[in-house]
Amino acid sequence: DAGVIQSPRHEVTEMGQEVTLRCKPISGHDYLFWYRQTMMRGLELLIYFNNNVPIDDSGMPEDRFSAKMPNASFSTLKIQPSEPRDSAVYFCASSPRGPGRDTQYFGPGTRLTVL
Amino acid sequence: AQKVTQAQTEISVVEKEDVTLDCVYETRDTTYYLFWYKQPPSGELVFLIRRNSFDEQNEISGRYSWNFQKSTSSFNFTITASQVVDSAVYFCALSEATTGNQFYFGTGTSLTVIP
């Protein structure tokens, strides 16, 4: 089975531009998570979905960030407008059942650089 | 308060040495789950192990072993006969049944195995 797929793997953009990160979870997984990793703050959960419905978005830093999951096999994380402090690695993860009981499987990440 | 503490920020060992990575957690839940992930230089997060709070049996997988002790709230990870390919950042994580919506990650331990 394919793992979690993320695209693009690297993104370089200029401040003020819109950025869209994409994720395809493992087939059959009901939960999808978006994380951000920085040196300063480590791994932070941004938002997670259950059966395509956002459950907890308390980790989303600002209104500039938005996430959608239009179907079970696709999710996007959008930043508009982007700022240099958004530079980080963004991970998508999925798990097959209740997030506390099953392992989260991570994608390879998208390294975002905002100039 | 930090729910997962990895006090060792960086460790260096010479190849073939044994090394133990410490993880101390904090929770009031009686049902919880502990995880270890490996993040090699390539950046992906690789699942290593999951342990639930009712199973204190130690586990061995090849050169890897895990020591779960509820009495000290610790879930330590030992690599026997370390190899250069073990060089990575290792993360310990906690998930609680009552707040099962997210993982609490430690800050990671960077392991360098010197040939």
pLDDT of residue B105: 92
- DSSP code, position A39: T
pLDDT of A20 > 80? The answer is yes
Which residues neighbour B57 within 8 Å (Cβ) at sequence distance 6 or greater?
B68
How many beta-carbon pairs under 8 angstroms link A with B? 56
CB of B78 within 8 A of CB of B67?
yes
Residue B70: DSSP 8-state: G
Residue A62 has pLDDT above 90, yes or no: no
The structure tokens listed for A17 are 């531009």
Task: Report which of B49, B34, B50 is spatially closest to residue B96, judged by C-alpha positions.
Answer: B34
Q: Which chain B residue has its CA at the smallest distance from A46's CA?
A: B102
Per DSSP, the three-state class of B85 is helix
Confidence tier at B96 by pLDDT (50, 70, 90): confident
- Taking residues A25-46, what's their average pLDDT? 92
Residue A100 has pLDDT above 60, yes or no: no
> For residue range A69-78, what is the model confidence (pLDDT) as tens digits?
999 999 999 9
Output the pLDDT for position A97.
74
The token pair that represents B28 in the structure block: 């009031």
Inter-chain CB proximity B105 and A43 less than 8 Å: yes
Q: What is the pLDDT of residues B38-95, one digit of tens each?
A: 999 999 999 999 998 988 888 888 999 999 999 999 999 999 999 999 999 999 999 8
For chain A, the distance separating the N- and C-terminal CA atoms, rounded to the nearest angstrom, is 36
Q: What percentage of chain A reaches a pLDDT higher than 90?
A: 74
* Range A57-67 average pLDDT: 92
Residues A68 and A75: their CA atoms lie apart, in Å, by 6
A62 close to A71: Cβ distance less than 8 angstroms: no
List all residues 6 or more positions away from A41 whose beta carbon is below 8 Å from its beta carbon. none
Distance from CA of B36 to the nearest CA of A (A): 10
Average pLDDT over residues B17-43: 94
- Six-digit token pair at A74? 């696709």
Taking an 8 Å cut-off on Cβ atoms, the answer to whether B105 and A107 are in contact is: no
In the predicted structure, residue A50 carries a pLDDT above the cut 70: yes
Nearest chain B Cα distance for residue A60, angstroms: 13
Q: Cβ of B47 and A42 within 8 Å?
A: no
- Secondary structure of residue A85 in the 3-state scheme: helix
Range in A33-37, A61-65, A79-83 with the lowest mean pLDDT: A61-65
What does the pLDDT average to over B101-113?
Answer: 89
B31 Cα to chain A: minimum distance (Å):
9
Chain B residue with minimum CA distance to A88: B43
Strand order in the sheet with A5-7: A5-7, A19-24, A74-79, A65-71
Q: How confident is the model at residue A98 (pLDDT cuts 50, 70, 90)?
A: low
Looking at residue B4, its pLDDT comes to 95
